[in-house]
Amino acid sequence: MKRALAIGAAAAAWTVPTAAEVRSTGPDRFEIEHRIDSALPPGALYALIGQPARWWSDAHTYSGKAANLSVDLVPMGCWCERMPDGKVVTHLRVGITQPGRRLLLIGLLGPLSTVAKAGAMNWTITPKGRGSTLVMNYKVGGMSADKVAPLAPAVDGVLGEQMTRLRKTAEDLAPSR
């Protein structure tokens, strides 16, 4: 799984949004932030975040199909993936919902679940003209020191790819100007 994450990060390097970075790392933590501008108004962009099946990459799912992803945008809702055998994988839990403004997801994605203790993914949307600006900040902690260095850039690459896909989907849905 780590190898797949690293390969995905290398491929994503070609499509990462311009405002993306590993903000900080330490012996037991890292923080990643991505920013995109969208022609979608805040409410529509928030709704789209809650539909990862429309924009997440098949390559970064356990089932091999992003169509199996869903998010229940209510407190304690699940960012889940339905597996072919009918079982469900819980990736993240919804912590805070402020439609059109903020979504806080708690948990660990992919291989992070085997090496980290906690993760918080905060999505903040602000109006910008007729559209909006989205900032996704992901903080992961409780990792052993030898795991941080290789995983932070890979996670940044994978999340950068997803933000690029989200931005492209939002552009496709935005009303013509």
- CATH number for the domain spanning 169: value is 3.30.530.20
Classified as helix, coil or strand, 162 is: helix
- 120 and 139 Cβ atoms separated by less than 8 Å: yes
Average pLDDT, stretch 132-147? 86
pTM of the complete model: 0.84
In single-letter form, the type of residue at position 49 comes to: I
Q: At residue 8, does pLDDT exceed 60?
A: no
- The answer to whether 140 touches 156, Cβ cutoff 8 Å, is no
Which residue range forms the structural domain that includes residue 51?
A: 2-173
- Counting the structural domains of the chain, the total is 1
